[in-house]
Structure 1
Amino acid sequence: MFMVITKYVKDIEEVDRWLPAHSAFLDRYYARKKVIFSGRRNPRTGGAILFRVDERAELDAILAEDPLQNKRRNGMRGLRDHPDKIRRGLRHIRREDIGQ
């Protein structure tokens, strides 16, 4: 899994123009079960997305499709994580528990 933390590098008005396309991008990857959660930071300076992917190359390929990323409207960093402990109701999010 990778946690992606973004920080807007353009004015919020510029970011807002691209949010519908960004939302559609996220919807595609929710449907493919690659995104576990996503949301805006508070205060609204960026966002966070938890991806269920194994390799950095796969994450980079996905992020290349994100309108906010590929139009340089935000900066990002991806942090790789393998959860050792997960609350019982959330255990299904681990790749090995889904059977991918």
Structure 2
Amino acid sequence: MSAWDELVRLVETGAPDGALAIADADLVHLVQRAIDERSVDPELNADSVARWLPALVAGYRAAGASGDRGDETEIPELLRILTRWLHPARPRGIATP
């Protein structure tokens, strides 16, 4: 499994409860692996991303809270935000299908 796939799985499973099931140091290592694989923008700092990612997931939970868990129907939107935030920028003028 790629590091990107692992990050997505962490967010998908952690978003409803607002927490990621990974130790801080392991998350930094996973983000660095994703950067090394070029699935996360190499201009980003692994330590910073590892600090912000749990905050994003906690914010998702807080913004969509309607009881004990977040609104799971919005997880795809959270993943879209995550993808656009972390993936390397595409060169301008290149259309995607």
The structure whose residues are more often strand, as a share, is 1
Greater RCO (CA < 8 Å, at least 6 residues apart): 1
The question of a shared fold, defined as TM-score above 0.5 by the shorter chain, is answered with no
The structure whose residues are more often helix, as a share, is 2
